[in-house]
Every structure is written in structure tokens, then in C-alpha cells.
Structure 1
Amino acid sequence: MKAARLYEYDAAMNVELKIEDVPPPTINGPDEVVVRVGAAGLCRTDLHIIEGVWKDIMDQDGSLLPYIMGHENAGWVEDVGSNVKSVKPGDAVICHPLRTCGICLNCHYGHDMYCEHGQFPGLGLNGGFAEYFLTNERSLIKLNTNIAPLDVAPMADAGITAYRAAKRAAGLLRPGAYCAVLGVGGLGHIALQCLQEISGCRTIAIDREPGAQQLAKDLGADFVLDGGPNVIEEVKQITGGGAHVVIDFVGELGVENICWKMLRQGGEMIVVGYGGKIEIPTLELVANEIKIGGSLVGDYTELVELMELNADGKVKMHYSQYKLEDINTAIDDFKHRRFTGRGVIVP
């Protein structure tokens, strides 16, 4: 099969993935499933993998390379293990990014993303930037008959990560409250749509890119700001003192230290993007009773919920499509923000 493989890490990202012919994956366990990839989302985590940010976590001795990235996958079931009952060859599916065991306490609680024995195709083992990839039955959700894998693949990670953050925010926001969304990219534009469906809050979308600003307007954000030097004051003026919730989908480049300053007293900042370092005087935390917490990828049931919103046409993924052989162009375009929404790789 054709696959795009990473051969070395480079903080400057001056390396390219190599398109090669490699043996396709095969069933090795009774619960495993081989998926023919219909589409695979390109994620900022993929850029961080190339940069070596994840090396100490997923590849301490360097033995993983070369390997196939790609953790936002959808396609069609190609082959199944002997115990697989819920899907069959030919079924269209989206894949929760984590292969979970189903028997640890976290799995029994429904917290799939905390699975004690979880494996992450595309992040530590071969993923979906290829014609086929291997996962297990527990990760699969069958798609509605009118939904194409191409239209939803990035929702496997970007979508449920945004949905989880929006769902958490919705629990904190009464009707008329304000939620600021920093970064209207592959995740932020999904969060905006989710907030509108599950919360009565007013949304403030903030992004420096004109294309992202226009997308936010098209999606119905109540306010759209360009993230200029006066953005904190602009947010406080709009909200009458600060946002009730701020969701940071950037998490680096200094944005992480702007976001908490937008909060009103008692507000909460939800950090989704990463790479930077938050610095805040403890007096600010205490005197204003603000809260700062991270938000990981959503669990299996949250992906089911998101697929229902998508099937009803309430939450849609905006994307640019690339062929597998053009993956390095896609990565470069993503790095330089030449497209709005998500990049999707199609084998």
C-alpha cells in the first residue's frame, strides 16, 4: 500500500514525509479491524510530532521511526478479527483516535481517553496517512448512510476535542453569558457551531487571519475580533467586564497569556492548544477567583454525540482536500495558514 512515513524529527520542520510502498496491516488479534482509509485529517499535533515535541513521550529511544502519522481517520471496514460483531467489511466508519481496552476502570467509567492500556494510531504507532490502517472494534462508529468519510474524518480528533471543550463551557454558561473563542481554525470553527447548538451564550470569535474571521461570521459568531493589541480591552468592553469562559485553541505564541486576562471575576479558561507556557500571578487567581484547566480529546460517547449533530446538519467540518502524494504541500499550507478550517488527506 502507499503510505507517507516520517523518517526524522526536526524542530525547524525542514523534513518531508516520504511516500512509499509498504506492506498493509493485517489482523493480529480477535478484536482488531483493518480500515481502508477514506480520509485522514491533518492536525497541529502532526506538526508537533515532526518538530519532535512528542518524542520523549512516544519514541524515547528513536526506534519508532520510520512510521506513519495520521490520527483523524474515517473510511470503510476492510477486514475484521474473529470476535468482531458490530461492524463488517464495507461499513463506513469513523474511528475514535484511541484504541482502548474496555476493561480498565477508566474505560468502565466511560473515560476512554484515560484508558490505562490505550494505544494511539498515528501517535506512537502507525496511523492513517496511508491506504489502510489498523485499529480495534471499540474505536469504531458506523456512519449515517448519507455521510461520507471525507466530510467527517477530522472530527475523529479535532471535532471531539472542540466538542468536549464546548460542552464543558456550556455547563458554565447561562443564556446571555459570553464565551470567547481564541483561534477559529480546525477546532475553533467546530466549537463555535457546538456552542450555538448546546448553549445560549453569546460568542466572541478571535483570530488574526481574515479568512478565519469571515468563517466565524458565516458561522454566526455574535462578535468577531482580529486579535489586535487592544483585544483584551475590546473583550471587556463587549462583555461589560470580561468573558465568563475563554477557550484557547492556540495555546502558544503568547496567546496563552492573553486569554486569562480576558476573564471576568469567577471566569474560567479552558486550554486546548498547547506549546506555550502560562504565567499568571497567584494573586490574580485568588483575587479574581479565575480557573484555568486543560481539555483533552473527547471520549467515545462524545464522538457519537458529535456525529448526531453532524448527521442533522448542525455541525459541519470546513476543510481543504489533498491527495496523499501531496501531503507535504498540505503540511506546508497548514503551517503557513493557507487554508481555513481543516486539511484532509485522501489516499
Structure 2
Amino acid sequence: MRAVRMTAWQGEPEILDIPVPEPGPGQALVKVAGAGVCHSDLHIMEWPEGLLQYELPFTLGHEVTGWIERTGPGVRGWGEGEAVAVYGAWGCGRCHRCVQGMENYCEQTSAIKSSGGGLGLDGGMAEYMLVPSSRFLVPLGDLDPRTAAPLTDAGLTSYHAIKRSLHRLVPGSAALVIGVGGLGHMAVELLKALSPATVIAVDTAAGKRDLAKRLGADHVLTGGQDTALQVRDLTGGRGAELVLDFVGGQQTLALAAACASSLGEVAIVGMAGDELPVGVGRLPFECSVSVLYWGSRPELMEVIALAQQRRITPQVETFPLEQAPEVYRRLREGRLTGRAVLLPHG
């Protein structure tokens, strides 16, 4: 089968032929319908060797949906051809957090270790994907798996970041979305679906600002030296109760701090890896800062339910698997709007 493989650090992915895996006890083989192309893949590929404890090569793709092809011994309740989403954070399954479904914060793994398909282990940018446990499968129901892949990361991560701060998003409050890319556009949709907050979106790209407007953002800003003042003006000087930074760069983190309200929260989701100084005078009083990673398995089920109710819809652009290197180049250059999804089977 064809697969998009990471074969070297700080190198481009390669499309190679590898054997179709056979599911063992408790495992499932998924025929991949769609695999989302995520900016975090670029960060992983660009990091120097030794920073992550990933063994090369491995197949990229941690945002995956498809159909059950076949299951291994001991797997029950899943039928051949059933449409499924793959929960991407693969924890130990035994610790306190994993038992609660929070495998994204497994006590036995960390961000530097192989932690899921496409993250050090073989992922879904291939014709077939071996899922090591059926507990990582979530039924999609009537959703089209060719376009639902972004729900498993872009949707789930944004949902987790917003859900934990819903108590802040009361009538009259504001939420700021910095970066309207694959995750940020889903955040705009989710904020409009789940809260009464005024939604302010910031992006330097005109196409992404237009997307934010179409998805219901109340205010859309270009991003520049006066952006923080604009946000303050739009919020009556108060600032935003929730600031979601989907970039995590030096400039966006500085903007997030400048726009946050007292008793608010800055949620750092983007993986650019820059730093936000924290201390008296750096942030408003009682403003929390969190660094988030994905979401839980129960939360993925909630995201899928919202999509089934047509309250959120990922904005996708689809490509054949063979175009993966070009799609990554376009992502790096900021020439994608919404989420790019690879279709291994068309």
C-alpha cells in the first residue's frame, strides 16, 4: 500500500510502498477515508534529531477517519464497513487519566515519546491504518468519513480548549481566536455553537479572515501593531475572557497577553514553541495560562455529536495521497484555507 512516511529529521516526507498490516488480538484495520494535514506535522519534521524519542521511519497522519476493514481476535461490536473516527492520543490505557478517557494526558507518556499514530507510530496517511486497540475507535454515524477527519484533532483540540472555559463565556463576554487555520476555523464555529460570547478572530491572511466571517465571527481583524487596542475597544477596555492562540509564536503570544482580561485565560494551542513571560505586570490579575494538548475520548464523541447535529462542519479541501509533499509545502507557506485532507482511496 502507499504511505506518506517521515524518513529523516528536517526532511521532506516520502511516498513509499509498504505492506498492509494485519490486525492482531484487540486491534482493528481501518481503510482510510481521510487524513488531515496538520501544522504540528511540520514542527515535528523540522525539529532537530534527538529532540523527540521517535523511531524513523513512520507513517504520518494523526487525524484520521475511515471504515472498518477487518478486526483481530477478541474485538466485538464493530462491523466491517462501519464508518469510524480514530482517537489519536494513544495512552497506556491503565493509568488514572487513561481510564477516564484522557489518554492525551497519559501518566506514562510525554510529548517527546511516541504517543499515537502519526506521532512516532504509523498513522493514517496511507491506504490502511492499524489501530492498536478498538477503544480508539468512535462511530461516525451518518457523517462522511472523507471530510470528517478534522473532527479528530482540529475539532477535538479546539473543543477541549473552549469547553474548559465555558464558565467564562457568559453573555457580554468575548473570546479571541488568534490564527484562523485548521484549528482556528473550528474554534470560531464551536464558540458560536456553544457560547453567547462575542467572537473576535485575527489572521494576517485575507482568505482566512473571509472564512472567519463566513463562519460567524462577530469581528475580524487583520493583525498588526494596533490589534490589541482594537480588541480593547471592541470589549469596552476589558479584554477577552478567553484568548485562544493557535500559533504559539512570539508575536501571537505577546498579542494574547495584551488582549486577555483579568480573571480570564490564555490558552496556548499552537506548537510554534515560543515563550510567554508570566509575572506581575506581564498579565492581568488572575489571568490563567494553559498549554493544551488534544482532548479526551469522551470529548471526541461530543464533537462528533455536534457535527451530526450539523452545528459544526469542518471546512476542508481534499487532495489525493500522492500530493502530500505539495500540500505540506502549501501549508508551510500559508496557502491553505480551512483544513487539507488527503484521500487515499479517492
TM range (shorter): over 0.9
Identity %: 36
Equivalent-residue separation in structure 2 for 1:304 and 1:88 (angstroms)? 19
Asked if the contact 2:36/2:64 (under 8 Å) is kept, the reply is yes
Which whole-Å CA distance do the structure 2 matches of 1:256 and 1:328 have between them? Answer: 29
Q: For 1:78, which of 52, 62, 69 is the aligned residue?
A: 69
Q: Give the direction of change, closer, same or farther, for the CA distance of 1:281–1:131 in structure 2 (3 Å limit).
A: closer
Aligned-residue offset at 1:253: 4.6
User: SS of the counterpart of 1:9?
Assistant: coil
Distance in 2 separating the partners of 1:144 and 1:82: 24
The 1:330–1:253 alpha-carbon spacing in structure 2 relative to 1, beyond 3 Å, is farther
RMSD: 1.7
Query: Counterparts of 1:221 and 1:278 in 2: how far apart (Å)?
Result: 28
Q: Which residue of 1 aligns with 2:51?
A: 56
Alignment-derived partner of residue 37 in structure 1: 32
Deviation string for 1:94-116 (max 9, x for gaps)? 10102344332212233221234
For 1:221 and 1:320, the matched residues in 2 are separated by 21
* Distance in 2 separating the partners of 1:287 and 1:212: 29
Structure 1 segments of 4+ aligned residues over 6 angstroms from their partners: none
Q: Using the alignment, how far apart are the partners of 1:234 and 1:227 within structure 2?
A: 10
**Relative to 1, partners in 2 of residues 1:286 and 1:116: Cα closer, same or farther, differing over 3 Å?**
closer
Report the CA distance between 1:37 and its aligned residue.
0.6
* 1:252 CA displacement: 1.1
What letter is aligned with 1:275? A
Match of 1:301 in 2: 298
Query: Structure 1 residue 67: deviation in Å?
Result: 1.7
- 1:213 aligned residue (209, 216, 236): 209
1:112 to 82, 96, 103: 103
Gaps of 5+ in 1: none
Matched, 1:18 2:14: yes
**1:57 Cα offset (Å):** 2.7
Matched, 1:261 2:254: no
Mapping of residues 307-318 of structure 1, within 5 Å = 307-318=304-315
User: For 1:58, what is the secondary structure of its paired residue?
Assistant: coil
Count of matched residue pairs: 337
**Can you give the 5+ residue segments of structure 2 that lack an aligned partner in the other structure?**
110-114
The aligned counterpart of 1:226 is: 222
* 1:149-175 Cα distance to aligned partner (Å, 9 max, x none): 111112111110011112123222111
- Report the Cα distance in structure 2 between the residues aligned to 1:16 and 1:269, rounded to whole angstroms: 33
Aligned to 1:98: 89
The code of the aligned residue for 2:17 comes to D
TM-score under structure 2 length normalisation: 0.93
Measured after TM superposition, the shift of residue 267 of structure 1 is 2.0
Structure 1 equivalent of residue 325 of structure 2:
328
- 100-109 vs 64-73, which deviates more? 100-109
Q: Which amino acid in the other structure matches residue 2 of structure 2?
A: K
Cα deviation, residue 88, structure 1: 2.1
| Aligned residues of 2:212 and 2:220 also touching (Cα < 8 A) | yes
1:9 corresponding residue in structure 2: 9
Alpha-carbon separation, structure 1, partners of 2:230 and 2:270: 22
User: Which AA in structure 2 matches 1:202?
Assistant: T
2:305 is paired with a residue whose SS is helix
Shift of 1:209: 0.6
CA contact (8 A) 1:170 1:195 kept: no
Shift of 1:228: 1.7
Normalising by the residue count of structure 1, what TM-score does the alignment of the two structures yield? 0.93
Structure 1 letter corresponding to 2:298: T
The answer on whether the counterparts of 1:58 and 1:123 sit within 8 Å (CA) in structure 2 is no
Displacement of 1:197 after TM fit?
Answer: 1.4
Post-superposition Cα deviations, 1:173-196, rounded to whole Å, max 9, x if no partner, equal 111101111011111111111111
Distance, in Å, in 1 between the alignment partners of 2:44 and 2:106 is 21
- Of 136-145 and 96-105, deviating more is 96-105
Give the alignment of 1:177-192 within 5 angstroms: 177-192=173-188
